[in-house]
Structure 1
Amino acid sequence: MTSRRADLTPARLPRGFADRGAAELAQSRAMTEAIRTTYELWGFEAVETPFFEYTDALGKFLPDQDRPNAGVFSLKDDDDQWMSLRYDLTAPLARFVAENFQRLPKPYRSYRFGPVFRNEKPGPGRFRQFLQFDADIVGAPSVTADAEMCMMMADALEAVGVRRGDYVIKVNNRKILDGVMEAIGLGGEDNAGRRLTVLRAIDKLDRLGPEGVRALLGAGRKDDSGDFTKGAGLDEASAGRVLDVLKAKADRNLHTARKLFDEVSNPIGQEGARELSAIAALVDAAGYEDRVVIDPSVVRGLEYYTGPVFEAELTFTIDDEQGRPIQFGSVGGGGRYDGLVGRFMAEDVPATGFSIGVSRLQAALRALKGEDAAATGPVVVLVLDRERIADSMALAARLRNEGIAAEVYLGASGMKAQMKYADRRRAPCVVIQGSDERDKGEVTLKDLVEGAKAAAAIADRAEWTESRPAQVTVPEARLVEEVRAILARH
């Protein structure tokens, strides 16, 4: 028995990160291509920024600017400057626009796709690296740009396979929320903590309902398990004003905007209501009213949002492993951030954008379709005579020259193991040419998909051996034609 080496390095994946196989990558590629095509139809162009940015460029994106490794992954370069892996795709865009402001067309429409990194405690469904797909318009002050973002998001969800009626793009305005906070005496920097508690309570409206939110706005709430969540400490009148705003949602977007105008009487709140009215008119005129909906309960956590905020929510339900109905909820969001690019310039630059959580949307699509479709592998050319492997390579080359993915088995095993290998490669078929077929100028093709179906229906081994399901021998000249026919079936 061979002894185990004492100096072996254990193979282990860092917590919060995940490997991705061929099937998942194929699904991601198809989904992101559909999103990219949609964005380009709306006139957006691609831009790619590096994974690393100087830490000070992230600015208020950092959870704690005094501790560069808190919340983000950071290191020092040779010049003793802190650099950080990007926390999202918006901060790098702000830096890119500021650096290239004079040469870029304004408004500047761009999209970006790639991984982002969070130095946070991982958990179920919570990763330290995940994919985002962003689109932004920089240099357009009108809420027309915000309306376009919402309508484009609706188109993108439908492009990847989410049916109309299975999603909604919700819209609110931070000015409405700021107006409510001001009205109940929670304006100013001193009340930032209590404002956050109020916003978190509002964000739970769909799950807890009005009374659950009322409890969180007041002293607090005890859940079914007995855990207690401390509330915002608002008095009954202030909590009532917040709930009145949340109840302003009406059957039509314009009606909701008008009710919000009446509920929030201070200037900033009414400005937000007027902006929502403008968005409502635009999406209604374009035929998106049922897909883009004004909803006063939408809260986006980042402090840099300055106007309309959006959230893409999936509305269909699926059953979990215990048969309980669950919803995926939000798969993307964004909003207007007019002050962000201005961190690098002498004046603010208007901007609005939307980010799709690719991994979460991909998981939702798998659940929606009820399957985890795997990528089809290449055609595998078996090798029955190692001395004639060049002939097998010539057959594979002929397939590849016609645009058909094909590989030659490069191991040293026999026929049975080669067939098992082809199954693991998810090959649609295998090409077999022994000495008899070669002498006759023929090849044998075995359709592995149909073969598996036929084998499942045959109980007797002798019958299976005699029938050789889904196997055909054809002239070598018809190799490409017959393989194409097999691929077309699947």
Structure 2
Amino acid sequence: MTDQPAETFRPEARAPRGFVDKRARDLRAERAILEAVSKVYERHGFEALDTGAFEYADALGKFLPDSDRPNEGVFALQDDADLEGKNGQWMALRYDLTAPLARFAAQNWETLPKPFRRYAYGPVWRNEKPGPGRFREFIQCDADTVGSARPEADAEIIAMAVAGLEAAGLPRGSAVLKINNRKLLDGILAGADVTNYAQKLAVLRAIDKLDRLSFDGVKLLLGAGRLDESGAFTKGAELSVAAIDAVMSYLTMSFTETRSQFIDNLSDTTKLHGGNDGLEEMAKIDAALKSLGIDDQQATFDVSVVRGLEYYTGAVFEAELLLSTLDEKGNKVSFGSIGGGGRYDDLIARFTGQPVPATGFSFGVSRLAAALRAAGHEPGDAARGPVVIINFDQAHMGEYFSLAADLRNAGIPAEVYLGTSGMRPQMKYADRRMAPAAIMLGGDEIAAGTVTIKDLDLGRELASGVADNAAWKAERPGQQTIPRGDLVAAVRKIISGSVGG
């Protein structure tokens, strides 16, 4: 009896839920956005900062439950035991870029210039249920001012967000920054005798769903709760009838066309309840935005903006994309919010015990790139591939690599085909790579000191109008033979959109 060989284990090739693979097109689009927005931040005097992917779990604060294993909402692991043999501390992948900034500022406060103005970008991770357009890993890009309580600091962050979104490729009028102040709602709730923290948090979360649930849905969540179409029940804030009426009146009376009208409409609503502080701050934000050239179409006041995170203490703002497109079934798709932020004056105090004012904005880079692409405004040259040098003969590999080096030294991406296929598959390969041109160098060209260039962009354009295959082959559209020394200039003309003769 012979031993049978053990069956080879072959794992299923699959990506974890909520994590996506990105090819060159996606990465180039994201890179173009980040480069454009970084230039905006740097023009405003903001310093780049990169913090590590992991933070100690206790530094992330309100995102974590009180449990032995803090992995709800974040991805956490326990560090190795310390030198004394005690259990290591829990670490978690950063949930956003704001909590790491708060830790960094608290840790380095004595040596930092104040206010400290920084921008940052990179991946963040959330241990949440993934869904359509909702990922567990995504790219954020933030700008924050730490150490200034002035409303003008909020206004500058808002103005930078407007400029950053336009720099990323959004035409003016295709996005709007919606602004509110948490102190306004605090005043309304104080006037309605709502002081319970859990109730106030439930009110915030209910209002945050206004765009999806409409006023009727929010009203249900302010009361006993809401039963959705699937049969799931969401417990409400359980406010009194009078308190619900006060909140709903606040939500419905103050939608205006201009920021000045907003302030006029709310001036009587929030008096005597502390909300007037928030209104004064918004008036100063409005004045600063006008000085910065931000009009009412670019940034507006909207009481429905409350932001879901607990740490905001004053002004809050949200960027809404007004672009829309159609899905594969022809239905209109709106992208909605692609970023937001606000003032968080208590976050650094968790470390120091001393209040430190701070304000900032963050937008989702991946979501913005996807929205721009769907709406026909893809950032960067995301579809362009390298020039492909056709491999006719192994004996001429040195010549092929010399051509590639000439193009690369001129700043033009180029590659020599290193497969084993013939001419036709190589041309198909170049087309699939979205190469602007293919370079052909055979024995005759080498002897004559020439190269043959095929303008693939022109070929793709002309092919759509040619029905006769024989005529197509005879005419060889977009193909030219030139002296080798003219190669770089000819390729540059093709890439710039010109047609060489």
TM category (shorter chain) comes to over 0.9
Report the counterpart of residue 419 of structure 2 in structure 1: 411
CA–CA distance in structure 2, aligned partners of residues 166 and 140 of structure 1: 31
Q: Give 1:367 shift.
A: 2.1
SS in 2 for 1:40: helix
Q: Give 1:67 shift.
A: 3.0
| Among candidates 248, 251, 254, match of residue 254 of structure 2 | 248
Q: Tell me if 1:135 matches 2:143.
A: yes
**Where does 1:349-364 land on structure 2 (aligned, <5 Å)?**
349-364=356-371
Alpha carbons 1:254, 1:281 under 8 Å: kept: no
**Where does 1:218-233 land on structure 2 (aligned, <5 Å)?**
218-221=223-226, 229-233=234-238
Q: Give 1:385 shift.
A: 1.1
**Where does 1:220-369 land on structure 2 (aligned, <5 Å)?**
220-221=225-226, 229-246=234-251, 247-290=253-296, 291-369=298-376
Q: Give 1:475 shift.
A: 1.6
| Among candidates 18, 37, 40, match of residue 39 of structure 2 | 37
Q: Give 1:82 shift.
A: 1.3
Deviations 1:160-200 (A, max 9, x none): 122222221111111112222222232133xx1x3233223
Q: Tell me whether 295-304 or 309-318 shows the greater mean CA deviation.
A: 309-318
Alpha carbons 1:133, 1:356 under 8 Å: kept: yes
**Where does 1:176-187 land on structure 2 (aligned, <5 Å)?**
176-187=184-195
SS in 1 for 2:274: helix
Structure 2 vs 1, CA of residues 63 and 181 (structure 1 numbering), >3 Å: closer, same or farther? farther
Alpha carbons 2:450, 2:481 under 8 Å: kept: yes
- Stretches of structure 1 that go unaligned for 5 or more consecutive residues are none
Report the counterpart of residue 11 of structure 1 in structure 2: 13
| Among candidates 165, 175, 191, match of residue 157 of structure 1 | 165
Alpha carbons 2:29, 2:378 under 8 Å: kept: no
Q: Give 1:430 shift.
A: 1.0
| Among candidates 477, 480, 490, match of residue 485 of structure 2 | 477
Report the counterpart of residue 85 of structure 2 in structure 1: none
Q: Tell me whether 300-309 or 214-223 shows the greater mean CA deviation.
A: 214-223
Q: Tell me if 1:75 matches 2:77.
A: yes
CA–CA distance in structure 1, aligned partners of residues 351 and 23 of structure 2: 40
Q: Tell me whether 209-218 or 69-78 shows the greater mean CA deviation.
A: 209-218
CA–CA distance in structure 1, aligned partners of residues 229 and 106 of structure 2: 50
CA–CA distance in structure 1, aligned partners of residues 10 and 215 of structure 2: 58
CA–CA distance in structure 2, aligned partners of residues 167 and 33 of structure 1: 20
Q: Tell me whether 9-18 or 451-460 shows the greater mean CA deviation.
A: 451-460
Residue 404 of structure 1 aligns with an amino acid whose one-letter code is I
**Where does 1:404-483 land on structure 2 (aligned, <5 Å)?**
404-483=412-491
Alpha carbons 1:132, 1:356 under 8 Å: kept: yes
Structure 2 vs 1, CA of residues 374 and 141 (structure 1 numbering), >3 Å: closer, same or farther? closer
| Among candidates 12, 26, 29, match of residue 28 of structure 2 | 26
Report the counterpart of residue 50 of structure 1 in structure 2: 52
CA–CA distance in structure 2, aligned partners of residues 87 and 220 of structure 1: 29
Q: Give 1:284 shift.
A: 2.7
**Where does 1:187-202 land on structure 2 (aligned, <5 Å)?**
187-189=195-197, 192=198, 194-202=199-207
Deviations 1:425-475 (A, max 9, x none): 221111111111112221111111111223332222221221122111112
TM-score relative to the length of structure 2: 0.91
TM-score relative to the length of structure 1: 0.93
Q: Give 1:223 shift.
A: 5.7
- Stretches of structure 2 that go unaligned for 5 or more consecutive residues are 83-87
Structure 2 vs 1, CA of residues 63 and 177 (structure 1 numbering), >3 Å: closer, same or farther? farther
CA–CA distance in structure 1, aligned partners of residues 415 and 364 of structure 2: 35
CA–CA distance in structure 2, aligned partners of residues 242 and 267 of structure 1: 14
Deviations 1:114-159 (A, max 9, x none): 0000111211111110000000000001111111111111111111
CA–CA distance in structure 2, aligned partners of residues 58 and 473 of structure 1: 63
Deviations 1:273-323 (A, max 9, x none): 221122122223333231221111111111111111111111233333333
| Among candidates 203, 208, 211, match of residue 208 of structure 2 | 203
CA–CA distance in structure 2, aligned partners of residues 313 and 275 of structure 1: 22
RMSD: 2.3
